[in-house]
Each structure stands twice: as C-alpha cells, then as structure tokens.
Structure 1
Amino acid sequence: MFFIWPMMAQDGEEILGEWVTSDGSAKLEIEKEEDGFFARVVWLANPNENGAPKLDHQNADRSLRRRPILGLKIIEDLHYKDGKWVNGELYDPESGETYSCQLKLDDKGVLEVRGYLGMPVFGRSVFWKRVN
C-alpha cells in the first residue's frame, strides 16, 4: 500500500491569496515579488470617513497621511524559512506604527500574523482566515 500526498506549494506560496481579518474589518491579499511576500489591503468593511476614502492619518510621515488605506501595503519583505514567513515589516494604519513581523500557517488553514518589537516573544498576534 502507498499514499499519494497532496501537492504542496513550493517556497511558501501556500499563503498567496485573499485573507480576512479575525474581526472581519478588512480583506488582504498576499502576493509574491522577487524580494519576498507582501500583503495589501483590498477591501474594508468601512472604506470611508465623513464621505471620503479612509486615509492613513496616523502615519508618522506627514507626507503619507493623505494616501488611502485601500490598496495600502501593510506587510512587506517576508521570506519563507523553515515553515514560517519571517523578517517582514508590518505597518498598522490604525496606530501609524511599524513592527517586525512573522507569519505562520496552522494545519487548519488559519494564518497567525505576529507583530513585534525586538523579539517575537514581545509581540501580539492576530489571526486571518482564507477567503473562499
């Protein structure tokens, strides 16, 4: 008797596609570039403020405060290593802060997105589910 194992994505590509945040407030698309993986905001439950598109008001760089949240890259420079996506940067438009980040996909298809300062143990995780 022998088993046929399902085809696995190579080089960490199993995270490619659309994901929804745990609170349902946003959908993000994870894509791959030559330099690594990144995530961009592709849908917001509340895309407008006062009748205009929601902007990146909290950004520390004043010149970026007028860019829309929709379409914004919030994760950049992730690299796949040993079953995790590591060494990335996570931008939180709600606080205007940028953190180091890593991602891990569990066996149920839930993506743990961990933002941290210094070491991952000193961070916080959110969980995204794949959009069907």
Structure 2
Amino acid sequence: MKKYICFFFTLACLLQIHAVKAQSVIGKWKTYNIFDKNREEAIVEIYLDKDGLYVKIIDILPPEHKNDLCKKCSGSLKDKPILGMIILRAAKFQDNVWQGAKILNAKNGKEYGCHISIEAPDLLRVRGFIGYPIFGKTLYWTRIE
C-alpha cells in the first residue's frame, strides 16, 4: 500500500512540475511575421536575469537573413548583427503580465512598449504598442522544445 501511495504522490508531483513549466514564459519560442502569421521569422530565447525578463534572438529562420545587421537601429545597436541581439530587457511581472520594458523591432529599428502573457501552455501573447496598449499590435509566438 505504501508503494502505491508513494507512486501516486511522485506522479502528482511530476504532473505539477509539467504544468508549471507549461505556464512559464521561460524557454524558446518561434516568432512570426507581423503581416503574414504563417511566415516564421525567428527563434527567441526568453530567460530571467536578476533584474527581470529578457528576450534574445537565437536563430533567424529565413536563411537569407541570418547575417542581417540592424541598419535602422540607433545608438549602440546600430549596424550590429540581429542574430544574438537582446530585443527586450528587464520586463517585470505585474498583474499576470510581463511589462515595463520596451521591445525592439530589428526590422525598422523602433522600440515599442510591450506586454507578454501566456495565452495557452504553448502560446505566448506579445503586445507591442506606442504609448498605450490600445494603440498596438498583438503577435503570437509558439513554444518549441
């Protein structure tokens, strides 16, 4: 009987760990074109650092763009490789949303306000906006293993 209780307890713990992982934004995500939602653009890695949430481009999916530079960026990012670029820094978790940081669109060099939240276990909702969230665009990223 003790073996069964121990087995079920272990199983319950493993299922809980899987559920927590599925609800986390941490991991690798596939991004899509803002105008053509079927066209894959990049793989990003979302991770936590001491001061918040970060998003880094770790792969660019159209092979012809792998060596692109951020020509339209300003400041220290100008003419830097897009591959490996951190496009969001130090977002904070507040009211079930990661917010309080700007996200860089490396195609046009502009930064936007950003809210990131879990839509489903493997679907991330990324809202980029100017000024207020109502003035923006929502993108959906899918989790990859």
TM-score of the two chains, using structure 1 as the length reference: 0.83
Match for residue 105 of structure 1? 118
Match for residue 71 of structure 1? 84
For structure 2, list consecutive stretches of 5 or more residues without a partner in the other structure. Answer: 1-11, 33-38
1:33 and 1:109 map into 2 onto residues whose CA distance is 22
User: Following superposition of structure 1 onto structure 2, how do residues 104-123 of structure 1 map, counting pairs within 5 Å?
Assistant: 104-123=117-136
Seen in structure 2, the aligned counterparts of structure 1 residues 76 and 119 have a Cα distance that, compared at 3 Å, is same
Seen in structure 2, the aligned counterparts of structure 1 residues 48 and 54 have a Cα distance that, compared at 3 Å, is farther
1:47 and 1:78 map into 2 onto residues whose CA distance is 30
After TM superposition, which residue ranges in structure 1, 4 or more long, deviate above 2 angstroms?
A: 4-10, 46-49, 63-66
SS class of match (2:53): strand
Same amino acid, percent of matched pairs:
26
Match for residue 81 of structure 1? 94
Cα RMSD (Å) of the superposition?
Answer: 2.2
Question: Is the CA contact 1:47–1:54 (under 8 Å) kept in the aligned structure 2?
Answer: no
For structure 1, list consecutive stretches of 5 or more residues without a partner in the other structure. Answer: none
Quick one: which of 21, 24, 43 aligns to 1:14?
Answer: 24
- Is it true that 1:58 corresponds to 2:72 in the alignment? yes
2:91 and 2:20 map into 1 onto residues whose CA distance is 16
Give the C-alpha shift of residue 82 in structure 1.
2.3
Give the C-alpha shift of residue 101 in structure 1.
0.4
Match for residue 52 of structure 2? 36
Q: Which has the higher helix share?
A: 2
Question: Is the CA contact 2:124–2:141 (under 8 Å) kept in the aligned structure 1?
Answer: yes
Larger radius of gyration: 2
Question: Is the CA contact 2:73–2:79 (under 8 Å) kept in the aligned structure 1?
Answer: no
2:98 and 2:116 map into 1 onto residues whose CA distance is 5
Give the C-alpha shift of residue 86 in structure 1.
1.1
SS class of match (1:57): coil
SS class of match (1:6): helix
